[in-house]
Chain A
Amino acid sequence: MSNTALTNCILAVCTTERDSVGGSGPIFYCKDEEELQSTSLYLEKILDAMAHLVRPGTMILVKH
């Protein structure tokens, strides 16, 4: 029987487009690509998560 506990949840979202993501989790709006990269990098290191690019301009941080 595989593990039934909740795994792989989205911890935070970073995006450059204001209206593209909704929801109750933390969303970080970034001005440009550079800020998107640096914000995601810091969050990845702090949260021990992994940053995935789902759309150009939107990154999700997932706890694996």
Chain B
Amino acid sequence: MFNDWGLSNYTMITLVGVLCGIACRLNMLRTDYRQYPTYPHGRIIHIALGVIASGLGAVLVVTLLQKNYTAVTFLTLAAQQFRDVRNMERQLLTNIDSMELVSRGVTYIEGIAMAFEGRNYLVIATAFVASLSTYFFHWYGGLLVGLLMVWISKRFMSGRTLGEIVKIRAAKVHFQGPNLFVDDILIYNTGLRDTQERILKNGVGVILEPDNADSTVTISNLGQRQAILHDVSTILGVYRDSGEPSFVPLTKRDLNTGRVAVFLMPMDRDVEKVIRIVRRVPVLEAAFRRPLDGKVKPDRTL
């Protein structure tokens, strides 16, 4: 059918590749409650880079078919460009992080920047594979393989969540004299009666219990803990303002058992919601560790 439109073979290959690449990028792009990428200009930047990446992947097939093998070197140029864009993205996020009430933390930002670069490479791969399939199997085969790649990319880019590696339960926020405890884990010391009353009224405590040595090391990571605080504060709001160190959300670790206590003061005081949100916090790529997979394993169970 498309041959009646006078579309040459190469045009068909490029078109299917570019379309599948763009579809892949749009599928992985969502501006959710975290408002990343920011709307509207952030989204435009992401989509534009996705279009460029899919163009690269599709045109690569055509140049190889024309036996222009040296054109592969422009891929190294593309890799450098995407690395620069990743640095730019990291810089942007770090700059605005200092103005947040509960910051994201460097680990979270690094993860976002890495995911951004990774997604562009996946788009190149999708466009390349779709174009190649169009060459062998006509446009319907190419489209089918392209859609399969879109689905694989989506699966590939979704990581694990905290609920899969730790048990999360509600805990009691209480004072013993001036010391604030979440169950039996000490958070900090505050002498002011005013602060103590506010904490008892608005404070919420949650304890994360690791399943094994892998989870213990992962949740002890400061970047991972900061990501938990940031995600919960973004959704439920936080009862603090700039320059109030008494109300800053904190996580503290129990050194004997590896449990982590999370103390925060959300505007929406529903412990069940806090637990559900913490369960869905992503495990940061840079924080995830698996000591039990090593050749020399730790003796302890936790």
Residues on B with beta carbons closer than 8 Å to the beta carbon of A48 = 243-245
In the assembly, what is the distance between CA of A26 and CA of B125, in Å? 65
CB-based contact A44/B246 at 8 Å: yes
Consensus secondary structure, chain A interface = mixed
Residues on B with beta carbons closer than 8 Å to the beta carbon of A41 = 192, 194
Does A53 sit at the interface, judged by CB under 8 A? yes
CB-based contact B245/A49 at 8 Å: yes
Asked if A52 meets B246 with Cβ closer than 8 Å, knowing A37-B194, A40-B192, A41-B194, the reply is no
Does A30 sit at the interface, judged by CB under 8 A? no
Does A50 sit at the interface, judged by CB under 8 A? yes
Q: Which of A40, A50, A59 lies at the interface centre, i.e. has the most chain B CB atoms within 10 A of its CB? A: A50
Contact mask for chain B residues 159-183; partner A; CB cutoff 8 A; 1 contact, 0 none: 0000000000000000001100000
- Give the number of residues in B that approach A within 8 Å (Cβ atoms): 14
Does B191 sit at the interface, judged by CB under 8 A? yes
Does B98 sit at the interface, judged by CB under 8 A? no
CB-based contact B178/A52 at 8 Å: yes
- Taking a contact as CB atoms closer than 8 A, the residue among B177, B193, B194, B246 that contacts A50 in the complex is B246
Does A51 sit at the interface, judged by CB under 8 A? yes
Which A8-39 residues have C-beta < 8 A from chain B? 37
CB-based contact B243/A53 at 8 Å: no
B2 to chain A, nearest CB (A): 61
In the assembly, what is the distance between CA of A49 and CA of B244, in Å? 7
CB-based contact A51/B192 at 8 Å: yes
Does B190 sit at the interface, judged by CB under 8 A? yes
CB-based contact A53/B189 at 8 Å: yes
- Give the number of residues in A that approach B within 8 Å (Cβ atoms): 12
Nearest A residue to B247 via CB reads: A50
A50 to chain B, nearest CB (A): 5
CB-based contact A44/B192 at 8 Å: yes
B244 to chain A, nearest CB (A): 7
Residues on A with beta carbons closer than 8 Å to the beta carbon of B192 = 37, 40-41, 44, 51, 59
Q: Which of B188, B191, B192, B195 lies at the interface centre, i.e. has the most chain A CB atoms within 10 A of its CB? A: B191
B61 to chain A, nearest CB (A): 47
Residues on A with beta carbons closer than 8 Å to the beta carbon of B190 = 50-53
CB-based contact B178/A50 at 8 Å: no
In the assembly, what is the distance between CA of A64 and CA of B250, in Å? 13
Nearest B residue to A44 via CB reads: B192
Nearest A residue to B178 via CB reads: A53
B113 to chain A, nearest CB (A): 22
10 contacting pairs across A/B (C-beta < 8 A): A44-B195, A48-B243, A50-B245, A51-B190, A51-B192, A51-B246, A52-B188, A52-B191, A53-B191, A59-B191
Pairs A-B, 3 closest by C-beta atoms: A53-B191, A53-B178, A48-B243
Interface residues of B (CB under 8 A from A): 177-178, 188-195, 243-246
Known interface pairs A41-B192, A51-B190; 9 further A-B residue pairs with C-beta atoms within 8 A, sorted by A's residue number: A37-B192, A37-B194, A40-B192, A48-B243, A48-B245, A51-B246, A52-B191, A59-B191, A64-B245
